[in-house]
Structure 1
């Protein structure tokens, strides 16, 4: 059995799959499930890198024992304290009472706070070192990717980077865990969604981490979620680099709410004109049907954003408002913004969208469109003008990039 768990050298995969959870962090849909990855280095001294969600402890312990039998584990390296990774910590400590926990000074306060676990600790700082025998590990602090205690562990012997949630993605591991032994097509969109939903706000810390890791001869990326990356390393780092710079493709995301279909007709008119102007990537999200998780992912993917809302009880439509707060929370940068709204007797939606426009610091494109009651010729014209302004702005970038 043992060879099936081997990544390279003495490094083994001992992670588990969660195919039952509906929402990650109780918020984000998991159509393909999610994996909680843990790794075991079977050397003179045995090291376990991160643990798994406590629900899977029995399966997890069996996987560990398949590799090392009844030998003790000397070190538990904690790269990240979120409970989906640290959840089994107390039980591991019960099974391996002499285990030394390796972490930074932020880690240990959290270990005591979450699990009441104390005992022997090996405190590491940026660039510190731990020899296991054949394998030599070096630690890199990567704070706010995406918690304050996050760090990454680099095995200098085999070039394996244990990256915590960095370079993670949604989706279980179905069969093999190595990217060379599976069809990885489904993971690319799930990586964008994972990054934008979970890490999105922390572009600047991700950039700092990428610079810190830039010179390392990485032969495998072992994240806490998703496949072990070996032949796709450049692509994975490229996706994280691009998303953390808030760089985006040419295209427009139209996000709207509509109670009776009138606001939706404005969205349709805008989309039709964008297409007529040669913009091919147009994604439309009706907020009452599309989950915010997918809306946010598309906003990270495309440069243009046009938001529309009806007035509801003299406010913005609540589901649109919820998406706006999620965009602001992630501090997305560098998008082009247009907006439109409607009302029956007192207009509030467009005013509220103007407040969002100011807070977002996005580049405002065209004139906002406000409609009273239903579509008229003037509304069609104004909607088309807004679409043309957005198309022109995107085409200007197209020219500059040529």
Structure 2
């Protein structure tokens, strides 16, 4: 039995890593790959598998389960999350272990039926229910909409280990590391926030409810379905999730600019410079044509200031800016110190649509918006000075609270 993948006294990691897929959910770039974490708990009298891995990984996954069971039956399969990257091997597990009992909630069963899976035994759990494996007790917490309707978390009472599903997850393959203190921590911080903001960010109020539900239990370790196992930074990652789900950004400004021939970006660069002069230390300037939206959204969750600037395209917003605005609306962006500017060569339109986005989002610009026709003039730059000074004041005021 390979102790290097031991998580707890009787718990082992049996996940897989993917370094070949370019996109997560066919949407989000994976420059450093992604890990799919599954776990097996070997109690004195019963055994339980917690989630599986994507379809196509059945062979090595089930071989690993067999190795760890070492001739014992698999008694339970806990389904914290039904999304196919975690339920993809369910059919293979059911075929290999026909006596296994699936554990989930009412919504789990509904999605299982939708996937047309031939079930053996299924046991519908109640929120807070406990199950003894013999010296190891599993407790189940229902945490719906983090980030699907059936999501739940499983807790080992004796050891304080929380199997959290997608909550507290991160992009990136393990690259030899498994626990947070084995990782390049600076790298994992950014990929955790990018995962949260793009995958879970829409469901902040439900994250708050989930955090409240587990706030009274001791958390020695958090085992998510993606990214590192948290054992040395448990309090840190819980505090970050609390902050992200409240959309409380750090003092700083993310700028997303759509420019076709350079003039709009020149204005964006000038505003960025003026923000720095006004004392803003953290500024992220993105060209929407070269920065994938997931990285812009990551910075939107990181900072409290947001500047959107777009050229007019066919009397509307530049398409990639429109896409970004649609993403932000879908994610429910809020609590931003917002500034807007638009441009055009023979007529405007972009600024009007950026203002419409702000109204839909329920975020009012904190400074007067700026519109430019043609190349920037000295008057435009003067207005940029005013915009940057006003925005910087609002952004930096948050650091003093």
Q: Considering the TM-score relative to the shorter chain, is it more than 0.5?
A: yes
1:20-43 CA-to-partner distances (Å, cap 9, x unmatched) read: 111001111111111111000112
C-alpha distance in 2, partners of 1:120/1:190?
38
Structure 1, unaligned stretches of length 5 or more? none
Other structure's SS at 2:226 match:
coil
C-alpha distance in 2, partners of 1:176/1:318?
40
- Residue aligning to 1:162: 163
- Residue aligning to 1:14: 14
Evaluate the alpha carbon distance shift between residue 176 and residue 344 of structure 1 in structure 2; reply closer, same or farther with a 3 A threshold.
closer
TM-score w.r.t. the length of structure 1 is: 0.97
1:157 Cα deviation (Å)? 1.7
Structure 2 contact 94–120 (Cα < 8 Å) conserved: no
Structure-to-structure mapping, 1:5-84, within 5 angstroms: 5-43=5-43, 44-84=45-85
Structure 2 contact 94–119 (Cα < 8 Å) conserved: no
1:265 Cα deviation (Å)? 1.0
1:174-228 CA-to-partner distances (Å, cap 9, x unmatched) read: 2242234444332110000000010011000000000110011111111100111
- Residue aligning to 2:226: 225
C-alpha distance in 1, partners of 2:83/2:120?
20
1:240-266 CA-to-partner distances (Å, cap 9, x unmatched) read: 111001011111111111000010111
- Residue aligning to 1:268: 269
C-alpha distance in 1, partners of 2:364/2:342?
19
C-alpha distance in 1, partners of 2:177/2:292?
30
C-alpha distance in 1, partners of 2:345/2:228?
51
Structure-to-structure mapping, 1:3-402, within 5 angstroms: 3-43=3-43, 44-399=45-400, 401=401
1:390 Cα deviation (Å)? 0.1
C-alpha distance in 1, partners of 2:177/2:378?
58
1:4 Cα deviation (Å)? 2.0
Root-mean-square deviation over aligned CA pairs: 1.1
Structure 1 contact 53–85 (Cα < 8 Å) conserved: yes
1:59 Cα deviation (Å)? 1.5
The alignment covers a number of residue pairs equal to: 400
C-alpha distance in 1, partners of 2:105/2:26?
28
1:345 Cα deviation (Å)? 1.4
C-alpha distance in 2, partners of 1:197/1:258?
24
C-alpha distance in 2, partners of 1:71/1:185?
41
C-alpha distance in 2, partners of 1:180/1:285?
31
1:349-402 CA-to-partner distances (Å, cap 9, x unmatched) read: 011111011111123121111111101111111111111110121233334x2x
Structure 2, unaligned stretches of length 5 or more? none
Structure 1 contact 169–187 (Cα < 8 Å) conserved: yes
1:5 Cα deviation (Å)? 2.2
1:115 Cα deviation (Å)? 4.0
Other structure's SS at 2:4 match:
helix
C-alpha distance in 2, partners of 1:343/1:229?
49
TM-score w.r.t. the length of structure 2 is: 0.98
C-alpha distance in 1, partners of 2:394/2:271?
15
Other structure's SS at 2:134 match:
coil
Structure 1 contact 48–75 (Cα < 8 Å) conserved: yes
Structure 1 contact 77–103 (Cα < 8 Å) conserved: yes
